[in-house]
Amino acid sequence: MKVKVDQARCQGHTLCAMNAPEIFELDDVDGHASAVSEDVPAGHESHVINAVRSCPEQAIFVEDRS
Amino acid sequence: MSVEDAIGDEERKKNRYHFDRHAPDYRDRAEEITRELHAQCPVAWTDTHGGHWVASGNREVFEIARSAEYISNDHDVKGERRGYQGISIPAPQRGRGNRGGFLEMDPPEQRHYRQALNPYLSPAAINRWIPWIDEVVRACLDEKIEEGRIDFVEDLANVVPAVFTLAMMGIPIKDWRTYSEPAHAVMYTPLTSPDIMRVGQLHMAMQQELIRRLAEIRENPRPGLVNGLINAEINGENPPDEELRGVLGLLIGGGFDTTTALTAHAIEWLSENPAERDRLSRERDTLLDSATEEFLRFYAPVVGNGRTISADCELAGTQFKEGDRLWVSWAMANRDPAAFDNPDQIDLAREGNRHNSFGLGIHRCIGSNVARTVFKRMLLQVFDRMPDYVCDPEGTVHYETISVINGMRFLPATFTPGPRLGPGLAETLETLQQVCDEQRLAEPVTVQKARAKVAD
Ligand code: SF4
């Protein structure tokens, strides 16, 4: 699974990091999110899906290759 | 308006619903009104308060609130631009001369203000304060712990957000009462109340005090949001005092009564649902985050905001005309069955909780991390020190209307008394002021990264 945060949409609600702290990091200065790495490590997919479903701005996009 | 336009207007506004957000009826029948709006017209026209749109559907609110190119927050108090009236419907009498800070601005100005303040309010910035916040909460509870009774609004939820907001601003925290009473009263006093003039005056006095502090910090800089604003670059220049006044008012308005309202409602609900309270306390490591979001969704403290349509457009299936006023209801969008299963039930473990309580788009509440953190720190200590508290419905007073904030005035409760753990509030605030000054806690996270150290 691949994950990306659309920086133009993200407004720093931080719900992604709340749902999947290993996957998303928040900028120290403005709290906007980015994926630690584009590839989601195995076993973390459900957390990422929860993050996608929780993001109020619908700013997180995943691509499922499997 | 030509005849054709008039007919077009009738057609545009064919989905009508009588909605008066200032009436007590809206508070009393909120769920029913929400259901009717969702079912009949998720974007409706109402003739109240000069006529305006009401967006209540989750999908509709999502689309409209994020269309920054078609909606404006501008409050043009001097009639220099297009005369837009900002985020209140109707524009408040007392606010006519004041712009509500960057919440009543559009980009690029609005963005410049936020960029200046973000490093004080980001998750990393707020986390530094946790031990400090915990001390304020500890002292508030110590004031009441031996007595076995507390008013959760007056003695806790009013105090902590106020003290912390002032600390972040760089204003002496011992003055918290000067700000907290007017900030609270302005929210709970209905526009039609005979008391509104007095409350307006109290609020003016608070504004004067803020202006004094602004001048003082300009003379003798001390770290904090006020200093950050004074030195902010807005369109390449430092902002004028008259704009800063509005921004400071916004920080107080945003920082004080909102978290108070959320906390009081959550504490009340948990008293009515003691099994859920015990579960949340027990499983706090896994449940506290989702429970916080759920309380935010269910009890959205800021129920909605006004906007002005800035260009003719079609959004969410409705034709809007430039200059139309629009009420975006975060609270109603949070109860849309199309977006949430069992929207009128609280589910502490709810997943995919895409609520709108901090707004959406470029105006997302800049204090959202403050609100979440302060709320959680208060709740945890209540769980630990007053685990069997019972609220008294007789003494509980909710705001008469939910025009702006869905808040509470009083929430008395009793609990099994316990021992004090430290000094009372006044003494603690003195110590914490010192800690704040010595460790320069109110600096932005870009300058000061260390976590607050508070001796036990
Ligand atoms: S939840 Fe969405 S908007 Fe919020 S920080 Fe994450 S990606 Fe950004």
Tens-binned pLDDT, residue by residue, of chain B (456 aa): 565 676 688 888 888 888 888 888 888 888 999 999 999 999 999 999 999 999 999 999 999 999 999 999 999 988 899 999 898 888 766 545 678 899 999 999 999 999 999 999 999 999 999 999 999 999 999 999 999 999 999 999 999 999 999 999 999 999 999 999 888 888 888 777 888 888 888 888 898 999 999 999 999 999 999 999 999 999 999 999 889 999 998 999 888 889 999 999 999 999 999 999 999 999 999 999 999 999 999 999 999 999 999 999 999 999 999 999 999 999 999 999 999 999 999 999 999 999 999 999 999 999 999 999 999 999 999 999 999 999 999 999 998 888 778 999 999 999 999 999 999 999 999 999 999 999 999 999 999 999 999 986
Domains of chain A in start order, with CATH, are 2-63 (3.30.70.20)
What's the token pair of residue B249? 């008012």
Give the residue from chain B lying closest to A28, CA to CA: B124
Residue bearing the CA closest to ligand 1, atom 6: A16
Q: Is the CB of A15 under 6 A from ligand 1?
A: yes
Instruction: Tell how far the Cα of B296 is from the centroid of ligand 1, in angstroms.
Output: 16
Cα R_g (chain A), whole angstroms:
11
Residue B353 touches partner A, C-beta closer than 8 Å? yes
- Residue B190 to residue B22: CA distance in whole angstroms: 8
Cis before B444? omega within 30:
no
- Residue B392 to residue B349: CA distance in whole angstroms: 27
Beta bridge partners of B44: B54
Position B93 scores a pLDDT of 63
Instruction: Tell how far the Cα of B57 is from the centroid of ligand 1, in angstroms.
Output: 21
Position B266 scores a pLDDT of 98
Task: Of B62, B13, B28, give the one whose Cα is nearest residue B315.
Answer: B62
Beta bridge partners of B391: B413
Position B140 scores a pLDDT of 98
Its ipTM equals 0.92
For tokens 């969410």, the residue is B316
For tokens 């509470």, the residue is B408
Position B232 scores a pLDDT of 95
- Residue A60 to residue B239: CA distance in whole angstroms: 35
What's the token pair of residue B367? 């204090």
Cα R_g (chain B), whole angstroms:
22
Contact at CB, A30 and B115, closer than 8 angstroms: yes
Q: Which residues of A touch B360 (CB under 8 A)?
A: 11, 56-57
Q: Which residues of B touch A56 (CB under 8 A)?
A: 354-356, 358, 360, 364
Instruction: Tell how far the Cα of A25 is from the centroid of ligand 1, in angstroms.
Output: 10
Domains of chain B in start order, with CATH, are 3-438 (1.10.630.10)
Distance from CA of A60 to the nearest CA of B (A): 12
Give the residue from chain A lying closest to B125, CA to CA: A28
Position B287 scores a pLDDT of 97
Give Cα separations from B354 to A55, B37, B271, B335 (angstroms): 6, 20, 26, 11
Distance from CA of A7 to the nearest CA of B (A): 12
Residue B361 touches partner A, C-beta closer than 8 Å? yes
Question: Which string of DSSP letters, residue by residue, matches A1-64?
Answer: -EEEE-TTT-----HHHHH-TTTEEE-TTT--EEES-SBPPTT-HHHHHHHHHH-TT--EEEE-
Query: pLDDT (tens digit, 9 = 90+) per residue, A5-58?
Result: 999 999 999 999 999 999 999 999 999 999 999 999 999 999 999 999 999 999
Contact at CB, B119 and A29, closer than 8 angstroms: yes
Find out whether B412 and B144 touch, Cβ atoms under 8 Å: no
Position B350 scores a pLDDT of 96
Position B375 scores a pLDDT of 98
Contact at CB, A31 and B115, closer than 8 angstroms: no
Position B348 scores a pLDDT of 98
